[in-house]
Structure 1
Amino acid sequence: MTIEGTASEAELLAAVTDLGSALRELVGSTVTTTVPAAELRSAAVAVRQVTARLSAARRSRDQLPALDDPGQSRRVFNPVSGVGNPLAPPLVIRREGDGVTTEVALGLAYEGPPSYVHGGISALMMDQLLGAAAIAAGRWGMTARLELDYRRPVPLETALVLRAAVGESAGRRTTVTGTIALAADPDQPLVQAHGMFVTPRPEQAAAYFAAITDAAGRPTPPGRPGDATAVVDRPGATG
């Protein structure tokens, strides 16, 4: 992820990225550790001390983070692709042919059935990827429908490839399809997804996002309030 701006913005992004990475490591250790109860209690005290430090200054739900720009699909704390969000793997979504793709291997923090990815996590990733495919095709909108066909369980700690591409678009509606597959067998889907994204009417968007402000508290209703991830072009790619 790159961001143009001042040196202070670059420094903030580096710090947010570093903290997000450290917290992912903490989450990964939390769900795999076998240390004794006393060590767990000691760790909980230390984590709460850090939480208190971070809570000294907080934004409200209606205030955008200083690094976010929804119009450019830059969401630093997005739960799928945000470098600053410990819930996110995070995914880096790239343009490929007429669609988008990404690769990921998910750890035990995303476990549903033992040794397999939770079905809700598959849905979360597909929702994000389908939205990114719409953005890459010059379309955008909010998720109106998302349907998944779980054909086989998705294994943890295994290289996966996710793909999505726009099918049809008309008026405010865009349909997108996508898959999750093993990177070693990308043409055999484990999960298939079909979604419809609808661009809100101007008056709807105004009603949904009228209270949004920027980091300084200035009213900043986004003109394109989608949550899709910015798409990175592959080296040498065009378009």
Structure 2
Amino acid sequence: MDINEIRRHNARLLADQFKTLSGFADYIDRSQTYVSRFIGRNPTKGIGNKIARKIEKSFDKPHGWLDTLHSSLDDNDGKDQPATLRKATNAPNTDEIAASHSYRLLTRIVELEEKAKEFQEQAQLEQFRLEKMVASEFVEHMEKVGSKVRTNVYKNSYDLIDHPSWKRVTLHIPKARQPVVIYQNELEAINPDAVVIAIPNTPFTLFYAIPKKDYQELASGNEPLPGIFALTFDVVKITVNKTSLLPWGIFGSE
């Protein structure tokens, strides 16, 4: 027998202590698919040095135990090895396996939750930076056309001074590629002369403006709930309530 056959034989002796191959795989912290490749019914690979030492360590076997042919787990092969190197291996019970598996699963869940929280916090920070940048560009653009801008008490709304058509607008910046939804109560509270949607682009930010007359007409035919109309801006198709829009302004193009 070559080294691969010897290792496979010995590994199967250890695996036979378990009711299923998955129990053996869990015990050595490997997947069942991985393990079946070297001790399954039709193995496709040998047991390399790294995994051989891993198996020996998992079962408290001495270094090289897997490389010597054994007829049973208690077989000493006639070698007078110190008792400390020939510790009897007791098959772990199902409770120990379940506890080990549950602990690893719980640890993984905690790791994923921490990563998700970190990603969410990073996304919120990026969105805050984006909103601040776009708002600054909006103010700069309005000043270029001769209108001073003053923030309003309402979130995302601005009062315009010396603008020929508008006295107040509300500015909305989409999150990623999510649609922007503006409800009736928000529009009634702010009462803007125009709703402005900003789409950060390269190299310029695109601004889409919907004057009051138009957004009232668009919203009147779109009621997600009785008596509650809304504007839904699709940032991919560039439509509001399925009606196409044209850019109001592109920074740097003037």
Query: Larger Cα Rg: Structure 1 or Structure 2?
Result: 2
Q: TM-score range by the shorter chain?
A: under 0.3
Higher relative contact order (CA 8 A, sep 6+): 1
TM-score under structure 1 length normalisation: 0.26
- The structure in which a higher percent of residues are strand is 1
- Which is helix-richer, 1 or 2? 2
Question: TM-score of the superposition, structure 2-length normalised?
Answer: 0.25
